[in-house]
A and B are shown apart, each in its own frame.
Chain A
Amino acid sequence: MDHFPTNWGRPRNDAYDAYGTFPLPHRPNNDTKDAFASGVQRTQQPIVTGTSVLALKYKDGIMMAADNLASYGSLARFKDVQRLHPVGKYTVIGAGGDISDFQYIQKFLEELIIEEFTSQDGHDLGPAEIHEYLSQVMYARRSKLNPLWNSLLVGGFKDGKSFLAYVDLLGTTYSASTLATGFGAYLAQPILRKEVEGKETELTEDEAIRIMETCIRVLYYRDARSIDKYQLATITADGVKISDSRHISTSWSFAEGIRGYGAQTQ
């Protein structure tokens, strides 16, 4: 593809033989000669996107939260998208970033899990293995300059051990007892750290839910790409549970006093 719009719809360069003065076999080669001629353009930005994913370690395992919005630019395009996805019996992945890339990831992980299942030999992939595999895929894709445009949290519980780690479109990995992607990394992570760090083995599920609600509320107030519908996932010794959509309560009465927001006449 010729990427210079000025060339479009006109003879490609000065050497163009407009009057057919050369016999056919001797015509000059008029292929585009710029550096982009044989180039291809790969993903430059995500299209339909999800925002933050939050996760924390608590007494029984891992809790993860993400809202149900898929935005198209600034448009709140789909409001019932599930961004938390179970992978096998011990793992949940949560995704921010491009939703179609995430759906592709879901598909190849599903294939992987079926392959594991069909061997029926008692060797299951746990969260650590799935995270390793994902990070290899993400790094390989970014090295081909064709990344899967996501930041992913991988949380799981297997053999009495909980696991929580991050991997993103660059193939960067990171592990901590609280993790947040997207805007959550700025807005929710400080709250999560304050509430969770050092208390990973004491926090109850109810307390963990309350912390998550706090974070989701803060995000809904301040992140313009979020909504007040979200889901919670827990991964514990009992396996994976992903809740139905929940609603976060917010209060907007203060907005009445803000100029340009409510039904003000002036």
Chain B
Amino acid sequence: MFRNTYDSDNTVFSPQGRLHQVEYALEAVKQGSAAVGLRSKTHAVLLALKRSTGELASYQQKMFRIDDHVGIAIAGLTSDARVLSNFMRQQAMSSKMLFNRPVPVNRLVGSIADKAQVNTQEYGRRPYGVGFLVIGHDQSGPHLYEFSPSGNSYEYFAMSIGARSQSAKTYLEKHYEEFADAPLEDLIRHGLHALRETLQQDKELNVNNTSIGLIGPTSEHETKATLPQGAFRILENEAVEPFLQTMVAKSTDSSAPAPAGASSSGAGGSSDVQMSG
């Protein structure tokens, strides 16, 4: 029934000092559709691929607003994500109540990482089955963090999670040095290009399956004014269209990395899973 003797619950170390249950939880994240995050000196952006279970079903929500200055994109179990994002909202409210200060993004991410760690150490729980990309803006500018069920959180210039996210990661690693000074439209275009890498052969990004979340000054393509200025907002449906228009077709995009198929999902496994430093 089990793959080995040491993977039945999360309170057991394997002889190599690994936690198999936690590693399986990281696999749960890869079952979810992909999300990409990246940031410049002025903006932080999330892009996510929404799934729908069929023609009659709506698309599953991939992004959540936490506060005016923080938003998340998720991959994995949506119900776990809702529990954690609720907790994040409480943290944000508490900071506003006590200090009248937007909660520093690193502390917010740290607080859910600490919660997740407990679920990797105590019997009768399972690790969360969801990964987050968190963007936020605070005193020290825009940020992008990855949160994972292992209880780790890291700050990145750009990152991707979810199914076939390795392909997106390859794209991001190739281009991330351009991001810092990129205007918002370019940043989003890079994000869409990276997200496109995670698609299966016959699929493409469209207004129905693409969400864009962003923080920072308004883009020329945005029609609705955001209040307060630069606050986190999620663009969906027709609001996404102008950004999709900016994409460069894949065949003519010389800088596009090798076709996804080879390096996609699961197999690449442990290389993007960092349990220990």
Interface residues of A (CB under 8 A from B): 119, 121-123, 125, 128-129, 132-133, 136
Contacts and interface: CB of A to CB of B under 8 A. Distances in A.
A170 to B, nearest CB: 19
Contact of A121 (B98, B100, B101, B106): B106
A118 B97 CA distance: 22
B230 to A, nearest CB: 19
Interface of B is mostly: mixed
8 contacts: A121-B106, A122-B139, A128-B100, A129-B99, A132-B98, A132-B101, A133-B98, A136-B97
Contacts of B99: 125, 129, 132-133
Contact of B98 (A119, A123, A128, A136): A136
Interface of A is mostly: helix
Contacts of A132: 98-101
Contact of A129 (B100, B107, B138): B100
B140 interface: yes
Contacts of B100: 128-129, 132
B54 to A, nearest CB: 45
Contacts of A136: 97-98
A165 to B, nearest CB: 12
A128 B101 CA distance: 9
A136 B101 CA distance: 13
CB-based closest 4 A-B pairs: A129-B99, A132-B100, A123-B104, A129-B101
Interface string B85-125: 00000000000011111001011000000000000000000
A122 B98 contact: no
A119 B107 contact: yes
B97 A121 contact: no
Nearest to A135: B100
B212 to A, nearest CB: 28
Contacts of B104: 121, 123
Given A121-B104, A122-B139, 4 more contacts: A123-B104, A123-B140, A133-B99, A136-B98
B28 to A, nearest CB: 30
B97 A123 contact: no
Nearest to B103: A123
B106 to A, nearest CB: 5
A121 B140 CA distance: 9
Contacts of A121: 104, 106-107
A128 B138 CA distance: 16
Interface in B61-103: 97-101
Contacts of A133: 98-99
A131 to B, nearest CB: 9
Nearest to B140: A122
A119 B98 CA distance: 18
A208 B101 CA distance: 31
A136 B97 CA distance: 8
A212 B67 CA distance: 44
A161 to B, nearest CB: 13
Contacts of B101: 125, 129, 132
A64 to B, nearest CB: 22
Most A CB contacts (10 A, CB to CB) among B99, B107, B138, B140 go to B99
A125 B100 CA distance: 11
B103 to A, nearest CB: 9
A119 B104 CA distance: 11
A4 B139 CA distance: 59
Nearest to B99: A129
Interface in B127-154: 138-140
A246 to B, nearest CB: 34
Interface string B203-221: 0000000000000000000
